[in-house]
């Protein structure tokens, strides 16, 4: 099992954003994380998300806790993962 950690790229599995990718920017407790897309890149809004509704990938970005959408976007571009993030997975 891939660890739930800040900076981990995830795929949402439930809800209107199912199949879209985002980044964990905070771990709230053992059941919830704060996820950001950022919306301008992937369409995923910054929101609290149950860890049962996400699938972690093997990719991790170097981010600080509660990073802004601009910081997340800069980290995605720095890691050369912009094309990977834009591509949605059909559930």
Global pTM?
0.91
Q: Which domain holds residue 48?
A: 8-79
- What is residue 2's predicted lDDT score, i.e. its pLDDT? 72
Domain-embedded: residue 90: no
Domain-embedded: residue 85: no
Mean pLDDT of 26-36: 95
- What is residue 56's predicted lDDT score, i.e. its pLDDT? 95
Determine what percent of the chain is predicted with pLDDT higher than 90: 86
Domain-embedded: residue 2: no
Sheet holding 8-12, edge to edge: 47-50, 32-36, 21-27, 8-12, 54-60
Domain-embedded: residue 91: no
Count of domains in the chain?
Answer: 1
Looking at residue 19, which CATH number applies to its domain? 2.30.30.30
Domain-embedded: residue 66: yes
Domain-embedded: residue 40: yes
Domain-embedded: residue 89: no
Domain-embedded: residue 27: yes
- What is residue 1's predicted lDDT score, i.e. its pLDDT? 60
Mean pLDDT of 61-84: 93
Q: Measured between alpha carbons, how far is 30 from 74 in angstroms, rounded to an integer?
A: 28
């Amino acid at each position: 099992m891939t660890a739930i950690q800040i900076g981990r790229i995830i795929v949402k599995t439930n809800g209107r954003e199912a199949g879209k990718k985002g980044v964990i920017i905070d771990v709230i407790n053992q059941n919830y994380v704060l996820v950001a897309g950022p919306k301008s890149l992937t369409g995923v809004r910054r929101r609290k998300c149950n860890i049962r509704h996400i699938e972690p990938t093997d990719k991790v970005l170097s981010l600080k806790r509660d990073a802004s959408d601009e910081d997340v976007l800069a980290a995605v571009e720095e890691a050369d993962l912009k094309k990977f993030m834009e591509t949605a997975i059909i559930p």
